[in-house]
Amino acid sequence: MLSKIARLCVGVTFGFVTFCSHVWADSFELKKVAEGVYVHHGQHQDIDDGYQGDICNLGVVIGRDAIAVIDSGGSKHTGEQLLQAIRRISKLPVRYVINTHVHPDHIYGNAAFQGEPVHFVGHEKLANTMLLRKEQYEKLNASLLGDAGKASSTIPPDTAVHGQLSLDLGDRVLQLQSQSVAHTHTDLTVLDSKTNTLFTGDLLFAQRTPVVEGDIKGLIAVLDKLNQSQYALIVPGHGQESADQKTIIGDELRYLNLLLADVRSNIKKGISMEQTMDTAAESERKKWLLFEIANRRNVNVIYPQLEWE
């Protein structure tokens, strides 16, 4: 059932709708976090447990002339819900759909935007990586989501970010920056210059245990670099946005540095990877959601890498 504020947003003119702080479309919420900037918060579910294609944060930035979407969700259906919610806010064209990295929960909503006059934008390595993982990811989506997964085709970017790229939405410029190997090897950040709001993709998690696929040392280095600038608001790939930069970045750095130190120490002591999965970063367990699952996976990724240091 729509809340009172949602009924109000739906019932009034377009000019007023843009000032509503929340918009619902079929229970799909967009939250206004800054002027012209909206976020849909995904659910804290693991991809192997109750996954419905809606677990990451999705961003919407509205300029004078056009709209940019930052990550589109894990299925065409999620992308359609996002587009419907956008249309309750603005009739401007969606000009850009930006994918912050390759993981399926962030890219498979792209299919919902094919009818728009849109460019799909991503890291210079994203298109090739999406095509390399196409069969694997589409099988996974079909297995987890059924018909919704089968309808979620792979739509790679047509616009690549080599280093930096600026996108003008009309009186609003987005600064895109490709990153070195960190969470993945396809990571991209998006800065809305007008509000100084940074979208980090999965370089940054809040509340939910951070995930490493690429290189933990690279991820720590990227976060340290991001922390050298000051942002009015940071929107992570998962979890709540925050104006408290020291805490949101600091919490993840604390976990990653402890995890790195513990795994290195266990390797030096000859402690196996399986044993390390049970003990690494143990003091962080109660500070993060889905810790048991995600932390074990992180050890599984970084232990073999660190053996070769």
Residue 20 is part of a domain; what is its CATH number? 3.60.15.10
Task: Give the strands of the sheet with 173-178, arranged side by side.
Answer: 164-168, 173-178, 188-192, 197-205, 233-238
Question: pLDDT tens, 154-200?
Answer: 999 999 999 999 999 999 999 999 999 999 999 999 999 999 999 99
Q: In this predicted model, which residue has the larger pLDDT, 149 or 134?
A: 134
Decide if pLDDT at 139 tops 70: yes
Give the pLDDT of residue 61. Answer: 98
Mean pLDDT over each residue of the chain, to the nearest integer: 91
Q: Would you say the C-alpha torsion 24, 27, 33, 38 has a positive or negative sign?
A: negative
Instruction: Please count the structural domains in the chain.
Output: 1
pLDDT tens-digit profile of 249-265? 999 999 999 999 999 99
H helical segments located in the chain: 4-11, 14-17, 76-87, 104-107, 126-132, 134-145, 147-150, 216-226, 245-269, 273-279, 291-306
Residues 6+ apart with CB under 8 A from 16: none
CA distance 68 to 104: 19
Separation between Cα atoms, residue 148 and residue 95, nearest integer Å: 25
Q: Write out the residue range of the structural domain in which residue 276 sits.
A: 4-306
pLDDT band at 14 (very low <50, low <70, confident <90, very high): very low
Section 85-95 average pLDDT: 96
Q: What is the pLDDT of residues 272-283, one digit of tens each?
A: 999 999 999 999
Beta strands across the sheet bearing 159-161? 22-25, 28-34, 37-40, 58-62, 67-70, 94-98, 119-123, 159-161
Mean pLDDT of 205-229: 98
Among residues 242, 289, 241, which one has the least CA distance to residue 39?
Answer: 241
Of the given ranges (27-41, 99-113, 126-140, 144-158), which has the lowest mean pLDDT? Answer: 144-158
pLDDT > 80? residue 89: yes
* pLDDT of res. 189: 98
pLDDT the model gives residue 45: 86
AA identity, residue 30: L
CA nearest neighbour of 57 among 198, 221, 178: 198
pLDDT of residue 17: 33
Tell me how far apart the alpha carbons of residues 43 and 55 are, in angstroms, rounded to a whole number: 4
Q: What is the pLDDT of residue 20?
A: 41
Better-predicted residue by pLDDT, 26 or 1: 26
Please report which helix (H) or strand (E) contains residue 143, including its range.
helix 134-145
Q: What confidence score (pLDDT) does residue 49 get?
A: 72
- pLDDT of 13 higher than 70: no
- What tens digit of pLDDT does each residue of 111-124 get? 999 988 999 999 99
